[in-house]
Structure 1
Amino acid sequence: MPHTVRGVIARRKQAPTEVVDVVIPDPGPHDVVVSVQACGVCHTDLAYREGGINDEYPFLLGHEAAGTVESIGSAVTHVAPGDFVVLNWRAVCGRCRACRRGRPWYCFDTFNASVPMTLADGTPLTPALGIGAFADKTLVHEGQCTKVNPDTDPAVAGLLGCGVMAGLGAAMNTGEVGRGDSVAVIGCGGVGDAAIAGARLAGATTIIAIDRDPAKLAWAGELGATHTIDGSQTDDVVSAVRELTGGHGADVVIDAVGRPETYRDAFYARDLAGTVVLVGVPTPELTLQLPLVDFFSRGGALKSSWYGDCLPERDFPMLIDLYEQGRLPLDKFVTERIALADVEQAFAAMADGRVLRSVVQW
């Protein structure tokens, strides 16, 4: 039977969030009801509230989540009740042209739950990134559930559901950082610092963190940065990166901000034939203008990283194992643990740069 839980919604553009009753319907054949144990507060949730994603209000916010499978649809084979899972927003179909070509991380037809969650009056909710996990329970497709070590702290495990995975994957998957490489990361929030941790894990020897906030640069140092550049103290980030890389530029530069000025710095701060990875999400009105000859003459690769080009079934268990071995400090991303009613205050803390991640914990 359908049941009612608490959930955090954005009812209209730029309005404060509300904690309201949310109705979880019976799962469809391939759907799963998950009892949420922890969910990180991601900048994407704020973008939904502010109208930066689309206008399909009301939104059920939250998507960086871990929890326990409570019930399953009649055709579910991927998980069972009681499984501890991390939720993901790119459940690959296995049939689209990207999947058939062996590139499932680009899947063009990802799955979500087949029936909507609603408000008490029957109004359908749009779940953030197809998940909607600022709620006691949520409804997702079975492919959005990835089983991981059940002994893992849910607040840590859930971070792989979005921002931390995006940053780790930007370095390890998209950027293909290797042993001995030099890496520069522009923007040291949660995604950028995860890229720093990923570069360190991949064996980079020079890891340069770039930000305008000294507190964020300090966090970057804890997560693996070997050098820092305070952008508020220099108007020439490119020269500063070159000075730290023998005058050449970095092998891989990761833009975790997503603005024309940061992308331009990333483009020119890389070595000849180096790689630029854009993982910061730009807003639709932003444009970039660069001399075309510079694209040609510098060579290399310009890449965008979608969700860190991850495969949840491959990457989530591996990264949790590395965390449990003490080789990946995922717990350092958890700045504070909060209640469901504190999401609005967490957005303010995020905007002020006071946290890497606030995590709602049940």
Structure 2
Amino acid sequence: MKAAVVYEAKEPIDVVEFTSGSVGPHDVRVRVGASGLCHSDVAVQTGDLPFPLPMILGHEGAGVVEEVGSDVTTCQVGDHVVLSALIHCGVCRNCLKGRPNLCTANLELTFPGTDAADGAPRMADSNGRGLYQFSAIGTLSEVLVCNERRAIPIPDDVPMEIAAMTGCGVLTGTSAVFNRAKVQPGSSVVVIGCGGVGLNVIQAAALAGASTIIGVDLHDDKLSMAQGFGATNLVKNESAEATVEQIFELTGGEGADYAFEVVGIPALVSLAWDCLRQDGTVVAIGVQAAGAITELPGLEFCMTEKTLMGCVYGTSRPTTDIPMLVEMYRQGQLEIEKLITHRFDLEEINGAVEKMEDGHNARGVVVF
């Protein structure tokens, strides 16, 4: 079995042979069918996300359950599943108030790269070195072992690469609109960054009934895609000042009701803020590098009543939202196929990263 592994930050990703650990009472073994490649994965390679190494990358995947632990109740062998990057305990304060994405146990169970009972990595390379898993799943591997709560059953008529997209890009973008911002019909929305997540913000804003949806990006091909997903207007972000000016022109001189930053760059959060009307809302979705600082004009907090919202995994409820999104796709209400701009073999993972970094990729997917 092979997996894409980061051994050292700022070094190429290695595709290595590995062995998977035993399946515990509440674990499942999943044969991965497809996995997306996300900027967060690359942030581990660059060192911007200081996760433990070596680590199997990938947190946006789907596959088929091959083995279940003795106490598993949520799925069975043969089930098609989407892998969730977050897990929830169901009993903490945040879970009980409907915010499982902020489960207080999740940080302890996800970001160390393993949620095994003994805290040790589940996987090991051919030299016996333990391999951590991104979000305790590591979907850029042919097989993985994870807690059953990370494996969300879905109908088996959904193609694997489509299902994989609902595990992060589709889930994060749509949930940020529906669950976090709660975009209102007739409102104006700016989306800064029209990649895989941003395109889903756009199509969700359209589904929510926003009347003006403005896609902002550096690249003409991404802007073209944004239009196909429901953007009513397009702005090429050649300078912050010019972009803000165009946004105000497109919103009757008032600014936007909502601005979503979907890149993870502090300057773009500031740009989103400057695009708002009074009482407007910024939703900061993009994952910023550890230590990054975003600066905003303090006086505007008390003079404009603008709001800055953080957003973890779209403020999603994976166990209910992923099946909902899959069903929306099956009913023709959600576009997912057009998100996938490139397909790769696992051995081509470094080329897939290059494609992502050149800025023209919406979503690349590794198909097993």
RMSD: 1.5
From 202, 219, 231, give the equivalent of 2:208: 202
Report matched runs for 1:213-228 at 5 Å: 213-228=219-234
From 15, 32, 39, give the equivalent of 1:19: 15
Write out per-residue CA displacement over residues 62-117 of structure 1, whole angstroms, 9 at most, x where no aligned residue: 12100011101111111111111000011111122212334323212124344621
In 2, Cα distance between equivalents of 1:163 and 1:25:
28
1:167/1:198 contact within 8 Å kept? yes
Number of equivalent positions? 358
CA distance change for structure 1 residues 66 and 211 in 2, over 3 Å: closer, same or farther? same
The worse-fitting range, judged by mean Cα deviation, of 75-84 and 113-122 is: 113-122
In 2, Cα distance between equivalents of 1:258 and 1:41:
16
2:283/2:310 contact within 8 Å kept? yes
**Partner of residue 243, structure 1:** 249
From 152, 168, 186, give the equivalent of 1:146: 152
The worse-fitting range, judged by mean Cα deviation, of 98-107 and 20-29 is: 98-107
1:64/1:133 contact within 8 Å kept? yes
From 175, 183, 191, give the equivalent of 2:197: 191
In 2, Cα distance between equivalents of 1:357 and 1:102:
29
From 91, 101, 106, give the equivalent of 1:95: 91
2:99/2:315 contact within 8 Å kept? no
- SS for the counterpart of 2:241 is coil
**Partner of residue 279, structure 1:** 285
Report matched runs for 1:1-362 at 5 Å: 5-54=1-50, 56-110=52-106, 111=109, 112-114=115-117, 116-232=122-238, 235-362=241-368
1:49/1:59 contact within 8 Å kept? no
Moved over 4 A (4+): none
Structure 2: any 5+ residue segments left out of the alignment? 110-114
- SS for the counterpart of 2:227 is helix
In 1, Cα distance between equivalents of 2:41 and 2:100:
25
Q: Following TM superposition, by how much is the alpha carbon of 1:178 offset from its aligned partner in structure 2, in angstroms?
A: 2.1
CA distance change for structure 1 residues 10 and 234 in 2, over 3 Å: closer, same or farther? closer
1:113/1:139 contact within 8 Å kept? no
- SS for the counterpart of 1:263 is helix
In 1, Cα distance between equivalents of 2:60 and 2:358:
20
CA distance change for structure 1 residues 234 and 281 in 2, over 3 Å: closer, same or farther? closer
Write out per-residue CA displacement over residues 108-149 of structure 1, whole angstroms, 9 at most, x where no aligned residue: 212434462111222111111211111110011100011112
Identity %: 37
CA distance change for structure 1 residues 9 and 97 in 2, over 3 Å: closer, same or farther? same
TM-score by length of 1: 0.95
Write out per-residue CA displacement over residues 28-51 of structure 1, whole angstroms, 9 at most, x where no aligned residue: 111110000000111111111112
Q: Following TM superposition, by how much is the alpha carbon of 1:263 offset from its aligned partner in structure 2, in angstroms?
A: 1.3
In 1, Cα distance between equivalents of 2:79 and 2:318:
16
1:166/1:191 contact within 8 Å kept? yes
